Structure 1
Amino acid sequence: MQMLINGEFIDSKEKIDVINPFNNEIIDHVPAGTPEDAKTAIDSAYYAKNEFQDFSARKVSESLARCAEDLFDYLEEFATLIAMETGKPINAALDEVKRSIDTIKLSSEESKRIYGETVPLDAGIGGKGFMAFTLKIPLGVVGAITPFNYPLNLAVHKIAPALAAKNTVVLKPSVLAPLTALKMAEIINSHFPDGVLNVVTGRGSIIGNELVNSEKIDKISFTGSVETGRMISQKAIMKKITLELGGNDPLIVLGDADLKKAVEGTIRGSYLYTGQVCIAVKRLIVDEEVAEDFVQMLIKETKKLRIGDPLSTKTDVGPLINENAAIVVERIVSNALDEGAELLQGGKRNGNFFEPTVLDQVKSGMKVVQDETFGPISPIIRVKGVEEAIKVANDTRYGLQASIFTENIHHALKAVGEIEAGSVMVNKQSTFRTDNMPFGGFKMSGMGKEGVKYAVDDMTRTKLAILNTR
């Protein structure tokens, strides 16, 4: 596949292989974009913004709606491509495409709801006799940088709200899984003027730096690692930024919890896309009152998971994105065992695959639960009561999402009030997300919110108009 710059598909001499994590075969090649490619794309977006901002809200809405219709027509093709380039099981890939369609539809609707407001100037000294109102206007050009794990939905979460607010976009997808974003760009480009959406493939140190440093970019929306997010926040001078970074999401199980629901939530939360999800359950904080029963139920359900070909509808757990990622998980598990954790299930690596793994007797200070582990690991920390559970949940530099299983409303509300996270789920695992909800974390998990309405608002700026009526 080729890059999209100013409505044209552009190739380059240097190529980057896109590898299928299941069999390590080359699926396709994409261009290794240069700084000049990135600058050309930025210029294209910069000069396209004036024409695009002349679009009516109705025209923007209709164009986005047609994009959603086209994506629906190719739903299975997109899902297959996601499964092939990421190793995501096909059922989860289908869900990702469906969510992406929904995100575009929500953006289509939101493009007609960008409101200003009247301002009562006579409430201030000297304001009598004046009328004022605000306008929400586009920022200009949005630079979007996305990771491999949700190559379509995370790209759409940046592109569609940006277009809804009449911004132009330059997207840099992950080189590990760029094909789905490029294919999506073909659809969007067919419904919007040339230059409104540009997609440049290449290494982050090259393309990403150009986006962050360019004075023609008005906002950076980034999803990825904490380290890269910190670098962006330091370099993106005078730009608006949204950073969706790592997570170390806890799932608390109290003594009064419905254990069946808690185990179901753990299975869905820990092993979704092999744990390679920022909102995956990374820590199980279990009241010792029910720990033994919970552990036995969890092991039983974990053993039922089927590892295999992502294109099979029977597969629950596919490969990690590459062998290096699997080796990292293997090393983290080994270190946890050296530190005193107990292996109850799994723990073995086979190439890019790593077995769903249950660890018990984990302590809060261990690396396996202090850092974000991008793998199918369920580390269990045993605690006494809700107070200790919340204390352990907050013992992390991250604060993306969290969950608690309890039948006690007072414990639930205490957790909602005291856990330091952008979202707290009660009797639902942390991987729960709808595409219209405000999504974003505290502490080192980032800044700003995604979710269509909130992203659209953050991709506009406020202008004030004042009329002298005297």
Structure 2
Amino acid sequence: MLINGNKIAGDDLFEVKNPYNGDVVDTVPIAHLQDVDLAIESAVKAKKAIAEMSAFKVSNKLYEVYEKLKENKKELAKLLTLEVGKPIKESLVELDRSIETLKLSAEEAKRIYGETVPLDAGINGKGFFAFTQKVPLGVVGAITPFNYPLNLSIHKLAPAIAAKNTVVIKPPLDAPLTIMKFAELVDEVFPAGVINTVSGYGTEVGDALVTSPDVDKISFTGSVATGLSIANRAGMKKVTLELGGNDPLVVLDDANVDEAVLGVMRGAYLNAGQVCMGVKRVIVDNSIADEFAEKLVKQTSKLKIGNPLDESTDVGPLIHESAAIMVEEAVSNAIKDGAEVLCGAQRDGTFYKPTVLDNVTSDMDLVVNETFGPIAPIIRVNSVDEAIKEANNTDYGLNAGVYTESFRNGLRCANEIEAGTVFVNKQPTFRTDNMPFGGFKNSGTGKEGIKYAVEEMTKSKLIGLNLR
């Protein structure tokens, strides 16, 4: 672990295993309460050091980290593949996005603006000059998941530092290595204590961060259940919660079927389906559903499953076998309830074969709950109205995609589907790292995306001068 610029080993160790073959990649310490207390104390002390830095200097130092990450890109991409199991070509994409996220954060560090406030618009306000300042929150506790461990962590810690906060990050115990290596790069550039890492169990480490009076914000990406627990226990802290998704991809009767199939391919099987904004439900107009299903099966059958370090591999393993078993059970239950297997539906250890299911209904657990696996469940509908109703038939509201050649239908779906982002003629997994990202309903609260994340990492102070 990294605490106050020092590497801390700890007595208890956790084995990080390669999901592909079960080999131990490395070990990390299991942090306990005293470690978390030390990390928070270190972050509190470092607030003074970063507060004294100019925005210009913070920006330049983030650019230094950006350069360091570029230099270590290939090494960290390989490490990411070893601990997560995602194909190396996807890991390289995550590194590219992480590099861009750092650059965007370095730029945004110089764009934190307040505004003048016309107090004379109110009673007795004449003669005042007032303005707001954006000031850092203090200590940010970041809790991140396994599926995009580096990029999602940088989306929290880089905007936090850009806004002159300090950070304590708890990486996922299943995939902590890439983040912990990256934190060392940050520590080489910034004062000791600006970034700290504590690896351990959420019930101990995460809970200590959430309840500590010295932590000013929690930024969490993970499950709805954990997010609700954080919201209930965080007290007066500022909270950003990026939770689950049950993202629909709607294919209307006038859609370009080939493009829509490509959207499902990009959205349902990415990272073996372990993506919060992945395509979880494929809602297709019945008039084109047969053609769509046939083409989707043809393309799905071409995917190569295998060693994620092989550059030709398209789909790697799930994070561990229990995760693959959960997907297997969800598919089996859907089949028992009447879903038809068009391809896939086979598990081999941690691998689950990319699967297309037809005749899925909205009451099946497979689509009621978020299924984290490479599944494309087709739900047939008979109109735009029915498609929109089906898309909104969920407790989640993260992202959505709609394929249509009709401007009117596209705009209507974009307006009426209840999601934080709706793309027309693009799958919901599409993301640029500068866009606002965050869902509605049980998909969370707050926004990420650098400009928006920086806003979430600050608080406004009003300063008023009586000039009379």
What is the TM-score with the length of structure 1 in the denominator? Answer: 0.99
CA distance in 1, matches of 2:293, 2:462: 59
Give the alignment partner of residue 120 of structure 1, picking from 118, 142, 146: 118
What residue is the counterpart of 2:256 in the other structure? 258
Instruction: Map Cα deviations across residues 244-300 of structure 1 (whole Å, 9 max, x no partner).
Output: 000000000001000010000000100000000000000000000100000000000
CA-CA distance at 1:151 after TM superposition: 1.0
1:205 Cα shift? 0.4
User: 1:395 Cα deviation (Å)?
Assistant: 0.4
Which whole-Å CA distance do the structure 1 matches of 2:446 and 2:459 have between them? 15
2:329 is equivalent to residue 326 of structure 1: no
SS in 2 for 1:153: helix
Q: Give the whole-Å Cα distance in 1 for the aligned partners of 2:440 and 2:156.
A: 20
Given the alignment, which residue of 172, 184, 191 partners 1:174? 172
Give, in whole Å, the separation in 1 of the partners of 2:131 and 2:319: 50
CA RMSD of aligned residues (A): 0.4
- Given candidates 122, 129, 132, the residue that maps to 2:130 is 132
Q: State whether structure 2 residue 406 is matched by structure 1 residue 370.
A: no
| Cα displacement (A) at 1:50 | 1.3
Distance 1:406 1:120 in 2: 46
Who is 2:281 aligned against?
283
Structure 2 residue 433 is the aligned partner of structure 1 residue 435: yes
> What is the rounded CA distance, in whole Å, between the counterparts of 2:27 and 2:49 in structure 1?
33
Matched to 1:453, the amino acid is K
Q: Map 1:148-187; keep pairs closer than 5 Å.
A: 148-187=146-185
How far is the alpha carbon of 1:98 from its aligned partner?
0.5
Uncovered stretches (5+) of structure 2, i.e. residues with no partner:
none
Cα distance, 1:47 vs. partner?
1.1
Cα deviation for residue 117 of structure 1 reads 0.6
Of 402, 405, 408, the match for 1:404: 402
Task: Report the alpha carbon displacement of residue 89 of structure 1 after superposing the two structures with TM.
Answer: 0.3
- Quote the offset at 1:13 in angstroms: 1.1
Q: CA deviation digits over 1:55-88, x for unaligned, max 9?
A: 0000000000010101001111111011000000
Write out per-residue CA displacement over residues 101-131 of structure 1, whole angstroms, 9 at most, x where no aligned residue.
0000000000000001111111111011111
Deviations 1:382-401 (A, max 9, x none): 00011000000000000000
Q: Which amino acid aligns with 1:195?
A: G
Take 2:70 and 2:262, find their aligned partners in 1: how far apart are those partners? 30
Identity %: 59
CA distance in 2, matches of 1:93, 1:60: 28
Q: Name the counterpart of 1:110.
A: 108
- Secondary structure at the aligned position of 1:82 is classed as helix
The DSSP-based 3-state class of the residue aligned with 2:149 is: coil
Q: Does 1:388 align with 2:381?
A: no
Match of 1:348 in 2: 346
Instruction: Give the corresponding residue for 1:215.
Output: 213
The amino acid across from 2:208 in the alignment is E
Aligned-partner SS, 2:430:
coil
Q: Which residue of 2 aligns with 1:417?
A: 415
Residue identity matched to 1:5: I
SS in structure 2 at match of 1:290: helix
Alpha-carbon separation, structure 2, partners of 1:293 and 1:316: 24
SS of residue matched to 2:189: coil
Deviations 1:13-55 (A, max 9, x none): 1100000000001000000000100011001001110121110
Q: How big is each residue's C-alpha offset from its partner over 1:401-437, in whole Å with a ceiling of 9 and x where there is no partner?
A: 0000000011001111100000001000000000000
The gaps in structure 1 that reach 5 residues or longer are none
1:190 is paired with a residue of what secondary structure? helix
- Aligned letter for 2:323? A
Distance 2:450 2:165 in 1: 14
Aligned pair partner of 1:13 in 11, 19, 33: 11
Q: Which amino acid aligns with 1:438?
A: P
Amino acid in structure 2 at the alignment position of 1:316? D
State the shift of 1:138 in Å: 0.3
Counterpart position of 1:206: 204
Q: Distance in 2 between matches of 1:47 and 1:186?
A: 18
Q: Which amino acid aligns with 1:19?
A: K
What secondary structure is seen at the aligned counterpart in 2 of 1:152?
A: helix
Q: Give the letter for the 1:56 counterpart.
A: S
Q: Distance in 2 between matches of 1:465 and 1:361?
A: 61
- In structure 2, which of residues 188, 191, 206 is the aligned counterpart of residue 190 of structure 1? 188
SS at match of 1:106: helix
Counterpart amino acid of residue 101 in structure 1: I
